[in-house]
Amino acid sequence: MKFVVVAGSTATARIEGISAAGADSAVMAHTPSADCEIVAYGQPVCSPVVPVSPSGCPTPAVVTRAVRELARFETVVVDAGLAEPTAAPTVTVGEESGRDVRTARAVPEAREIFTAAEEYGRALPDDELVIGETIPGGTTTARCVLAALGERRATSSSLPENPIALKQQVVGEALDTAGIAAGGAAGTPIAAVRAVGDPVLAAVAGLVTGTTAGGTEVTLAGGTQLCAAAALARHAGVDAPLSLATTSFLAADDTADVEGLASDLDLDLTITDPGFDRESHPALDAYVAGEAKEGVGMGGALALAERAGIPMTDIRDRVVTIHDRLLATEPRVEP
Amino acid sequence: MKFVVVAGSTATARIEGISAAGADSAVMAHTPSADCEIVAYGQPVCSPVVPVSPSGCPTPAVVTRAVRELARFETVVVDAGLAEPTAAPTVTVGEESGRDVRTARAVPEAREIFTAAEEYGRALPDDELVIGETIPGGTTTARCVLAALGERRATSSSLPENPIALKQQVVGEALDTAGIAAGGAAGTPIAAVRAVGDPVLAAVAGLVTGTTAGGTEVTLAGGTQLCAAAALARHAGVDAPLSLATTSFLAADDTADVEGLASDLDLDLTITDPGFDRESHPALDAYVAGEAKEGVGMGGALALAERAGIPMTDIRDRVVTIHDRLLATEPRVEP
């Protein structure tokens, strides 16, 4: 089993009010790079920031790292197009971050990313892969892709109040600019990503296509972004069984409608509750209040913990330890 | 603890008769990239070759992978300048492979590689690091660097009969071209690497400098190449304790004189014998006959196995399993 985090950036995240994956937009550019370092090393290494939301909610990378330290699974970071450098060891499938979806061609190299990820996935010897993501702004690009493919336009958010009206407006502008009607890109997944997606969606879809071709079992670890990647894979002709593992926080979000998406896309759904409401600590409380919800493969990591029989109380303790260590770390450089 | 494999290439390996790290020079260009994939995944993934010597001796990456599977330590590949792509997750500290040491400026970006590796090393949170290498031709560049620094010119070889006369000639030409007398680069390690070294030496020296600055315990896993890297670190002013872990095969090589080098450079020496002579199998016999001897951190991996109490018979079984699996794998592309 290998746990893959696909990381990238999209300028879509810079739209005011669209994402909580960073205290402000300057910090947010570093969030996915820092997330990868936290998963790989337990703390930012070269990245100048510790990703927290504007209200201080720690990145879900902390939860994934906590499970990793206890379950000791192997992780691989796939760089689909990070805007800022990361010191995490990476497999590179894309060189450029994505553009604002409201401009033409959000991911010019969508096909190259898809193909590189597909080839990598096909070559991997693992019998099981769990795939998560980190890309601020990714729920909005996911919604754009679901719309372009004609799938259910469900969308989660890292914010407690999902800015749905803003996202709808962005999706409308994106499809208009691309000249794609709702459902107009059905059956042409690469065209959908190129026009209105992000590099992570291209890479995850390619990875799913390549790994399932060789019979690898794939679990998509996340919410609506991973559903959009699954939709792309389905539209690329993948009919292998696929699983979706997400958190109870994401599942409780009606705007995400992950059950509807899983049903539409024939995804075997697992929801794991880490019981953050049983204790009170800044590392846990924000999740209970509906922030972050999911990301960096959190739901998949929690499902692996449950499968390995690791008690959630141990996970919570480890989350608190890592969180406190992170906040004690002085960022090395101001962004 | 983290196990780091520093990988790179040098055109010095193309000198006829200098290296056994590949069946021929076209294959040899892929050897370090394939080694990294074997350590990371247990087999080549995108690399088109399974590295074996001209006589069929399997790469020591097989031994390191075998120990990794049993001891379950974390590995990181640091790319100091690979000539061919690798699908292993990498931290990149250098962009270009090294030039033939007989031409001017073997490693033009020696300082940049050293500094990037030093910064990465300083930022790593680990309390212990084991550092190995994979770079065909590396024993020759190591001898050049030892000569330039005025250190003992001991040199091992991946060939059973070390082509010492050829190497002496190459070292002489390299120093002549660089205009450096023996010992002329003492105290200027970066100048030594830039003139007559290779990218891996620059990266290992930087990594040692950066990690020891933060109090991390460092074990250099290998033979004369790692000794040359240690010499560079000593000449850069590192006076922290350093260990050297190598194999009994390397220690048995008088031309390597690893005991003399360890003593000169104040390295705490550990020699581990995997007992390959107790069984007969193509995966083991070539080592007993004096081929390969060391590489890809083999000696350090064996020392970790011993420390973890893993019986050498288990290691040998696993080496045979991985070797047989590798040879059963069809290379995907002819080089």
- Give residue A124's pLDDT: 96
Pairing of strands A242-247, A217-221: parallel
- For the stretch B219-234, pLDDT in tens is 999 999 999 999 999 9
pLDDT at B334 over 60: no
B interface with A, Cβ–Cβ < 8 A, is 41-43, 45-46, 72, 76-77, 87-91, 119-120, 123-125, 332
Position B21 scores a pLDDT of 77
How far apart (Å, rounded) are the C-alpha atoms in residues A166 and A173?
11
The stretch B55-59 carries a mean pLDDT of 89
Q: What is the pLDDT of residue B23?
A: 73
* pLDDT reported for residue B328: 84
- Section B1-16 average pLDDT: 96
Pure H helices in chain B: 25-28, 31-41, 61-71, 110-123, 138-149, 164-178, 189-196, 199-213, 224-235, 248-251, 258-264, 282-288, 298-307, 312-328
Cα separation of the two ends of chain B: 36
Q: Is the pLDDT of residue B69 over 60?
A: yes
pLDDT attached to residue B236:
98
Distance from CA of B12 to the nearest CA of A (A): 27
Are A96 and A108 in contact, with CB atoms under 8 Å apart?
A: yes
pLDDT of residue A286: 92
Q: How many CB atoms lie within 10 A of CB A307?
A: 13
Q: How far apart are CA A227 and CA A264, in angstroms?
A: 10
Architecture of domain A2-328: 3-Layer(aba) Sandwich (3.40)
Give residue B92's pLDDT band: very low, low, confident or very high (50, 70, 90). very high
* Rounded distance between C-alpha atoms, residue B108 and residue A62, angstroms: 40
What's the mean pLDDT in B137-162?
Answer: 93
In this predicted structure, what is the pLDDT of residue A332? Answer: 43
CB-based contact A87 B123, cutoff 8 Å? yes
C-alpha–C-alpha distance, residues B158 and B31, integer Å: 13
Ranges of each domain in chain A: 2-328
Q: Say if strands A267-272 and A242-247 run parallel, antiparallel, or are unpaired.
A: parallel
For residue B178, what are the contacts with CB-CB under 8 A and spacing of at least 6? B104, B148, B195, B196
| Mean of pLDDT values over B80-108 | 97
Identify the pLDDT of residue B320. Answer: 96
First to last CA, chain A: 36
Confidence tier at B333 by pLDDT (50, 70, 90):
very low
Mind listing the pLDDT tens digit for each residue in B194-211?
A: 999 999 999 999 999 999
Between the alpha carbon of residue B178 and those of residues A25, A203, B74, B229, the distances in Å are 49, 46, 39, 19
Please give the Cα distance from B240 to B246 (Å, whole number): 20
The pLDDT of residue A333: 40
Q: What amino acid occupies position A187?
A: G
Q: Which residues of B touch A125 (CB under 8 A)?
A: 41-43, 45
Question: A195: Cβ–Cβ under 8 A, 6 or more apart, which residues?
Answer: A104, A105, A106, A148, A174, A178, A180, A185
User: B160-176 burial by CB neighbour count: b if 16+ within 10 A, else e?
Assistant: bebbeeebeebbebbbe
Contact flag A125-B72 (C-beta cutoff 8 Å):
no
Residue (of B255, B98, B106, B96) closest to B175 by Cα position: B106
Q: Which residue of A has its CA nearest to B87?
A: A91
* Mean of pLDDT values over B169-183: 96
Mean pLDDT of B58-70: 97
| Share of chain B residues as helix, strand and coil, in percent rounded to the nearest 5 | 45, 15, 40
Q: Tens digits of per-residue pLDDT, A197-226? A: 999 999 999 999 999 999 999 999 999 999
Residue A207 CA, chain-centre distance (Å), reads 14
Q: What is the pLDDT of residue B8?
A: 98
Q: List CB contacts of B241: < 8 A, sequence separation 6 or more.
A: B217, B266, B268
pLDDT tens digits along A92-117: 999 999 999 999 899 999 999 999 99
A119 and B46 within 8 Å at the Cβ level: the answer is yes
Nearest Cβ partner for B125 among A43, A76, A125: A43
| Spans of chain A, pLDDT less than 70 | 329-335
CA B143 to chain centroid: 13
Which residue stretches of chain A are H helix?
25-28, 31-41, 61-71, 110-123, 138-149, 164-178, 189-196, 199-213, 224-235, 248-251, 258-264, 282-288, 298-307, 312-328
ipTM, 2 dp:
0.92
Query: Can you name the residues that pair with A130 across neighbouring β-strands?
Result: A3, A219
Query: How many angstroms separate the CA atoms of A311 and A304, rounded?
Result: 11
Largest CA distance in chain B: 51
Q: Which residues are paired to A128 by β-bridges? A: A217
B239 pLDDT band, cuts 50/70/90, is very high
Tell me the pLDDT band of B335, cut-offs 50, 70 and 90. Answer: very low
Residue whose tokens read 């690329």? A236
Helices A164-178, A138-149: crossing angle, 10 deg rounding: 50
Q: Is the dihedral of CA B311, B312, B315, B316 positive or negative?
A: negative
- pLDDT at A56 (0 to 100): 84
- CA atoms of B132 and B4, how far apart (whole Å): 6
Test the A interface: residue of B2, B69, B74 with most A CBs within 10 Å: B74
Q: Return the residue in B41, B50, B122, B321 with the most chain A beta carbons within 10 A, the one to mutate for interface testing.
A: B41
Pairs across A and B, CB distance < 8 A: 47
The CA-CA-CA angle for residues A111, A148, A134, to 5°, reads 60
**Residue A193, pLDDT score:** 98
Percent of chain B topping pLDDT 90: 87
